Amino acid sequence: MQLTGSEIVVECLKEQGVDTVFGYPGGAILNVYDALYKHSDEITHILTSHEQGASHAADGYARATGRVGVCLATSGPGATNLVTGIATAYMDSIPVVAITCNVNLPLLGKDSFQEVDITGITLPITKHNFIVKDINSLADTIRRAFEIAQTGRPGPVLIDIPKDVTGVIAEYEKKVIEPVRPDEVSVSDEEINTAVEMIEAAEKPYIFVGGGAVLSDASDELFEFVKRVDAPVCDTLMGKGAFPGTDELYTGMLGMHGTKTSNFGVSECDLLIVVGARFSDRVTGNAKKFANHAKILQFDVDPAEMDKNIVITAGVTGDIKTVLKKVNEKLSQQSHKPWVKQIEEYKAKYPLSYHPDVLSGPFVVEEIYRQTKGDAIITTEVGQHQMWAAQFYKYSRPRTFLTSGGLGTMGYGLGASLGAKMGVPDKTVVNIAGDGCFRMNMNEIATAVRHNIPIIQVVINNHVLGMVRQWQTLFYEKRYSQTVLNDAVDFVKLAEAMGATGLRANTQQEFRVAFEKALTLGKPVVIDCQIDSDEKVWPMVAPGAPISDAFDEGDVAR
């Protein structure tokens, strides 16, 4: 079959089962958009307000569905506007394919209009990238890009196509794409046996769950593993929902804003079992003092993560779902009643709490949990509200908490919420933002309205850059340099100007009523929640301190 390059792009997307793409057209990518127009009944295109929104939407789609997210952009500034979203996906190992188009082949390298070396720019933040200069390799390159994005440790892949390649004709032959399956053969029996021996010898094991357990769809195997080990469980931001936050063995997040229970328990355990986590500095605190009473057993698909940030005792390299399945087959039922009881006592002694009578971030998150019955997809921006969303919403299933963990991208959540809602339309999708983050990409409310994507945007509005201000309060003697946002911006009016419904809440009851209304409207809603500027996230670990030094508001008062 003879097709143009742009038609081959669309046919290859269809081969991969792509039903939704996010993007923004421009001159270099016009041929591809013309081909998409002819297939609009098969592939839905969401025109975002900015290319960064498209990259975050593709990321959110991928996290919510487990499929590859796809975004499109033109050359030059269109391509560079994807960079932040690509880097966000790279840091959190999210499978995204970004397709950009560039200037014609004879114009490459000549500083032509809207030319940029996007493959050079994105080389450090992609799993792989391609520039396709020969149309005869176009189809296979696209197929290879999707395969790379999904296999092993997932990640973003970029394909750059010069415009003239999208216009010439070549032979295209359709291929049936087989689903990507994890490599079960390469998991070492010796490593599995060592892991089982370490677990069976432990008296005080603790299980630490990261995003790898979510990405490998290993929740069932993880649940069986936890019950078989009979150990308490903590997690990272990326690991939320892999193990139910409602289970009695769950102790909350670990690290800088983790619970005291998790931080103290990990500091006292004799075996830390790390399931698909990479030992981020926000988790470990002072790395030299992290879990230094414990042997460390790490399960990870990426051998490069072994001994990278923390020296481990032993590791098993492989897909998390496969590793857990193999360990479960060999591990006998364990019992650690005294240890579990000790951790339960910590949970009773150090619960998460907040001021009960005022509208606050934790209250907002708990009320969202109550009204959605824990069955929503929550996306967030980055900052205090992100930590509250991690602490006070109980995630019982994977792929229901979408947030920028590694890169910490302000402006991520709104685009991600659009992608999540397109991928899982039957779920309520709520983006929780601070007012500083909402300003970053609030133009995507117009996208939600344009395409009638009924997301609920909750702005926890403290009129400051909350997390930065918290650090300034605690560590910079209250020198609030450039963190006050107390200006005349009215988010309710902005929402209405873009065609959404705008609501405001100043009290707990007003928020209850506003969110209840938002759930019934079936259209984009923005709720502006006015909270105190000095609200803080507790507990906290000071930078450079061990996680066992976690402190809260009561400790500061003393």
What pLDDT, in 10s, does the model give residues 260-301?
999 999 999 999 999 999 999 999 999 999 999 999 999 999
Q: What is the pLDDT of residue 183?
A: 78
Residue 549 pLDDT greater than 90, yes or no? yes
* Residue 423 located in a structural domain: yes
Angstrom distance (rounded) from CA 395 to CA 36? 37
Q: Are 20 and 43 in contact (CB under 8 A)?
A: yes
Q: What is the pLDDT of residue 51?
A: 98
What is the enclosing helix (H) or strand (E) of 225?
Answer: helix 219-229
Of 349, 380, 404, the position where a domain reaches its end is: 349
Determine what percent of the chain is predicted with pLDDT higher than 70: 100
Angstrom distance (rounded) from CA 323 to CA 298? 11
285 and 432 share one domain: no
- Measured at the CA of 209, the angle between CA 206 and CA 214, to 5 degrees, comes to 155
Q: What is the pLDDT of residue 521?
A: 98
Q: How far is CA 170 from CA 1, 255, 531, in A?
A: 8, 54, 60
464 and 440 share one domain: yes
Under the banding of pLDDT at 50, 70 and 90, the label for residue 167 is very high
332 and 206 share one domain: yes
Angstrom distance (rounded) from CA 252 to CA 258? 7
Residues recognised as catalytic: 51, 113-114, 163, 467
From the list 32, 332, 323, the residue with the least C-alpha distance to 166 is: 32
Which residue is associated with the tokens 């991690």? 390
Helix axes 466-475, 384-392, angle to 10 degrees: 100
Q: What is the pLDDT of residue 365?
A: 98
Strand partners for 130: 159
Number of domains forming the structure of the chain: 3
Q: What is the pLDDT of residue 232?
A: 98
**What is the DSSP secondary-structure string of 278-293?**
---HHHHBSGGGTTTT
Q: How far is CA 297 from CA 81, 218, 231, 288, in A?
A: 40, 18, 14, 17
Rg over CA atoms, the chain: 24
- Residues in Cβ contact with 305 at an 8 Å cutoff, skipping those fewer than 6 apart: 278, 279, 298
Mean pLDDT of 359-369: 98
* Residue 410 located in a structural domain: yes
Residue 246 pLDDT greater than 80, yes or no? yes
* Residue 176 located in a structural domain: no
96 and 68 share one domain: yes
| Domain span including residue 502 | 361-542
Q: How many residues does the chain have?
A: 558
* Residue 356 located in a structural domain: no
According to DSSP, residue 333 is labeled P
From the list 165, 131, 134, the residue with the least C-alpha distance to 145 is: 131
Backbone CA torsion sign across 55, 403, 16, 105: positive
478 and 535 share one domain: yes
Angstrom distance (rounded) from CA 335 to CA 139? 54
Mean pLDDT of 70-86: 98
Q: Are 543 and 369 in contact (CB under 8 A)?
A: no
CATH classification at residue 335? 3.40.50.1220
271 and 299 share one domain: yes
- The rounded Cα 499 to chain-centroid distance in angstroms is 28
Residue 185 pLDDT greater than 80, yes or no? no
Please state whether 337 falls in left (phi above 0), alpha (psi between -120 and 50) or beta. Answer: alpha
Which structure tokens are listed for 113? Answer: 């209009």
Q: Are 379 and 403 in contact (CB under 8 A)?
A: yes
Amino acid at 155: G
* Residue 183 located in a structural domain: no
Q: What is the pLDDT of residue 293?
A: 94
Helix (H, G, I), strand (E, B) or coil at 115: coil
Q: Are 369 and 394 in contact (CB under 8 A)?
A: yes
Give residue-wise pLDDT tens across range 458-468: 999 999 999 99
527 and 414 share one domain: yes
Helix (H, G, I), strand (E, B) or coil at 481: coil
* Residue 554 located in a structural domain: no
> Do the bridges between strand 96-102 and strand 69-73 make them parallel or antiparallel, or are there none, so unpaired?
parallel
Strand partners for 274: 208, 298
Strand partners for 272: 206, 296
134 and 193 share one domain: no
